[in-house]
Amino acid sequence: MSTSADQVARLLALIPYLQARPGITLADAAAAFSISQKQLMADLWVAFMCGLPGGMPGDLIEVDMDAVEGEGVIRLSNAAVLSKPLRLAPHEVGTLRLALQAVREIAAPESYAAIDSASGKLATISWQDGPMAVVSIVTGAESVRQALVDAREAHQRVRLTYEGGARGDTTQPLVDPAAIVVRDGYAYLEAWSLDRDGWRSYRLDRIVAVDPTGVEGADHGQPPLRDDWLSDAAAEVTLRVSESAWWITENYPTSATSGDLVTLRVVDPAWLRQLVLRLGAEAEVVAPRAAQDDAVLAAREALARYEAWTTTRDVLAREDSV
């Protein structure tokens, strides 16, 4: 879409929006339309030049540009023809309904009714159905989501029961919940950990229980933005990957690919170990060689244990049959 088409589309919503809110500030109006104040000023100058045919003063849309430039407030009038916005296009309705599906995946169950009814209303306001879409996000149990939302609304500190990361131990961190976010299709709780005295992310599907403490939570500001789970400390590991395992390039942070070589960014050695073990013959670490040692040792130990166990079982079986 060209800039000009964007601007026409926006003005057709902006003009009725501003008429209904006389005296709104530039800042509020710009925020509502996700545009800069500079862009909004440009839009207002266009509106100022438009109106009914004839071009006489009474025909034009009135915008008090002195108030805009002096006080930063907008008063727009004499645009009765544009008192209502243009109907939504099917792709616009579809976009909002898709967004609502994403909200429903991670929201507390108490919000389902509002999500469904809002989506139902949207479905009726275009001339044709929007695109079909199905969303799935890896998220926690409904009871966990509800408990977190309740704790947040009551500003309560909670104790999580968390079945942790790659090493798999269960912990019970004491946290102040700050946000439920989604990264790469997984829902996480961003919370201030009292034990670690810092921000931590907890995968929602690994939170088994949320227990209120009755203690009021403290304000720690905003959790840091994380585009993904990479950190600067990530090491680069290059694997030779067969066609059947090529999916890892789309699911994990990949810094380069070349032929059948894939370079991944690895923060946690335990994560790399389990990836190499599960891929088996489908992938092999080529650089640095030592990055694979953990996995090789784990596989050898496992095979030794299988061997020992099979022998024991055979002995037991023979004794049983005697």
Partner 1 sequence: MAPRKTERQLNLVICLLAARRYLTREKIRDSVEGYQGLSDVAFQRMFERDKDDLRDLGIPIETGSNDSYFDDEQGYRILPGDFELPPVEFSQEEQVVLGIAAHVFDGAGLAPRASSALGKLQAAGVELSTTGFVQPRLGGDDEAVGVVWEAIADRRRIRFDYRAPGLTRLVEAWGVLVRRGVWYVYGLDLGREAPRMFRLSRMAGGVESLEPAGAYELPDRGVVEAAAASLEPAAVTDTAFIAIRGTAAPALRRRGSVVTISAPDGYVAYAVPYGSVGEIADQAAGAAPDVLVIGPDEVRDATLDRLRAVAARTLSTELA
Q: Which of residues 52-81 bind partner 1 (CB under 8 A)?
A: 52-55, 81
Residue from 224, 231, 259, 290 that binds partner 1 (CB under 8 A)?
290
Residue from 36, 143, 242, 312 that binds partner 1 (CB under 8 A)?
312
288 is a site residue for partner 1 (CB under 8 A):
yes
Task: Write out the binding residues for partner 1, residues 148-207 only, by CB under 8 A.
Answer: 149, 152, 163-164, 167-170, 177-187, 206
DSSP string, 90-111: HHHHHHHHHHHHHHHHHS-GGG
Task: Write out the binding residues for partner 1, residues 241-270 only, by CB under 8 A.
Answer: 250-251
Amino acid at 266: V
Task: Write out the binding residues for partner 1, residues 137-156 only, by CB under 8 A.
Answer: 137-138, 149, 152
212 is a site residue for partner 1 (CB under 8 A):
no
Secondary structure (3-state) at 164: coil
Least CB distance to partner 1 at residue 174 (A)? 19
Amino acid at 226: R
42 is a site residue for partner 1 (CB under 8 A):
yes
Contact 24, 66 (CB under 8 A): no
Residue from 25, 30, 32, 62 that binds partner 1 (CB under 8 A)?
32
Least CB distance to partner 1 at residue 301 (A)? 4
- Residue appearing with tokens 């500079």: 38
95 is a site residue for partner 1 (CB under 8 A):
yes
CA atoms 285, 249, 229, 162: torsion sign:
negative
Nearest Cα residue to 212 out of 143, 111, 163, 164: 143
Least CB distance to partner 1 at residue 182 (A)? 5
Beta bridge partners of 73: 25
Instruction: Write 183-191 long-range contacts (CB < 8 A, 24+).
Output: 183/226, 183/227, 183/228, 183/229, 184/228, 184/251, 185/136, 185/137, 185/138, 186/137, 186/138, 187/105, 187/106, 187/137, 187/138, 187/139, 187/140, 189/148, 189/160, 190/223, 191/160, 191/223
Least CB distance to partner 1 at residue 41 (A)? 12
Residue from 102, 174, 194, 267 that binds partner 1 (CB under 8 A)?
102
Least CB distance to partner 1 at residue 314 (A)? 13
313 is a site residue for partner 1 (CB under 8 A):
yes
Stretch binding partner 1 (CB under 8 A), from 62-70, 229-237, 260-268, 309-317:
309-317
Residue from 30, 33, 41, 73 that binds partner 1 (CB under 8 A)?
33
Burial of 132 (0-12, 13-18, 19+ CB in 10 A): exposed
Q: How many residues bind partner 1 (CB under 8 A)?
A: 128
45 is a site residue for partner 1 (CB under 8 A):
yes
Least CB distance to partner 1 at residue 116 (A)? 9
**Backbone angles phi and psi of 173, in degrees to 5:** -70, 145
